[in-house]
Structure 1
Amino acid sequence: MVAYTEYTDQELSSLLQQGDHAAFTEIYNRYWRKIFVVAHKRLGDQEEAEGIVQDLFLNLWRKRESFRLTTGFQNYFAIALKFEILDVMRKWANVSKYENELSFTYTEADESMLRSADLEELRQKIQLTISALPEKCQLVFRLKHEQGYSQKQIAEELNISEKTVEAHLAKAKKQLRGKIGGLLELILFLCF
């Protein structure tokens, strides 16, 4: 019997389409380090690079039955990695833009109101509002803001999709904005 390490990319691809776990493991072992090194070099962020590697292989496994390899896994991963890196950079650019907009949103009156506000009273109001949320929504919010989990970590911890995590966070923030007002992000930053 031929060892998986001796199979070509095309042979591994065929086995992958059949759901062969050992073929998938061989593909992972051959390429994960190369993908990680390139992602880390381009982004300068180890955690993001690890996340990209996981996402690429997870997507490959999910699409295994319809997956068709045309040239080789080296080319496939190079192209897929390029798009993943662009997505991360777009996300970073949007966050940076949002932070810049947020910094110009607050007026001196807002700052003086915050200085005079009793943070403990705000914390209590936030906790009451959070406690009134549905259980899963409350758990997602607490993991994000009290425990510092990323949305991806929350999704993995609770075995739900990242889109579901986003929906729970949006619902929680909507409720909090209704009770606290437009300075929610700044207040959350100060209170958590």
Structure 2
Amino acid sequence: MVPELSPLSNDDMYLLTGLAQGDAMVFRLIYQSYERKIYNIAFYYTDSEEDAEDIVQDVFTSLWLRREKIELKGPFENYITRCAKYTAFFYLKMRQKKKQAAEHVTTPRALDGPEEHIRYKDLQAYLHTLLESLSHKTREIFYLSRYSGLSYPEIANRMDISVKTVEYHVSLALRKIASGKF
């Protein structure tokens, strides 16, 4: 026999209904109630204040964007806690991928012969073509990040955009380069 899930509390129904209707006051209430808990969970897993702050923003952004589709099978607090954990795990996975990518990237040293020099030039031309196929904004952000060595907050400040926007455009550029599709 499968145990029945307990029905949602009145508070959870209020939050879910208000959120689905786009009620900004309900969203603010949710934010004020759970922001600290999400931050603590995120910091516990990532051991990074910056990542924890970003995770809080990601969880609430996702919550708002998905507000009409959320179906609770238990308390709202359990749902928001799972969101925080999954987002933290995603950040850890991305951190690991960045670390692995950084370990595999080598800066070109003195080229041994003409064949290596030609291959290097071909690779540079190919990369340039891929980057030129990006939108102006994505290309500019990518160049500032990878060629000028600016941090995401520095780029965001310089271009008067959010750090999340910088992350999005760099990620977009990297996916395009990885896929090799123009």
Tell me if both proteins adopt one fold, taking TM over 0.5 as the criterion.
Answer: yes
CA distance in 2, matches of 1:88, 1:73: 23
Matched, 1:167 2:172: yes
Matched, 1:37 2:35: no
Match of 1:140? 141
Q: More relative contact order in 1 or in 2 (CA 8 Å, sep 6+)?
A: 2
Kept after mapping to 2: 8 A contact 1:140/1:169: no
Deviation at 1:17, TM superposition (A): 0.9
Amino acid at match of 1:76: Y
Matched, 1:76 2:74: no
Kept after mapping to 2: 8 A contact 1:10/1:72: no
Q: How does 1:52-71 map to 2 (within 5 A)?
A: 52-71=55-74
Match of 1:102? 105
Q: What number of residue pairs does the alignment pair up?
A: 150
CA distance in 2, matches of 1:45, 1:73: 26
CA distance in 2, matches of 1:144, 1:68: 39
Q: How many percent identity over aligned positions?
A: 27
- Between Structure 1 and Structure 2, the one with more helix by share is 1
Deviation at 1:84, TM superposition (A): 1.2
Change (3 A) 1:87 1:156: farther
Change (3 A) 1:112 1:168: closer
Which consecutive residues of structure 1, in runs of 5 or more, have no partner in the other structure? 1-6, 114-124, 175-192
Amino acid at match of 2:97: N
CA distance in 1, matches of 2:99, 2:174: 20
CA distance in 2, matches of 1:48, 1:136: 24
TM-score scaled to structure 2, two decimals?
A: 0.64
Kept after mapping to 1: 8 A contact 2:39/2:53: yes
TM-score scaled to structure 1, two decimals?
A: 0.61
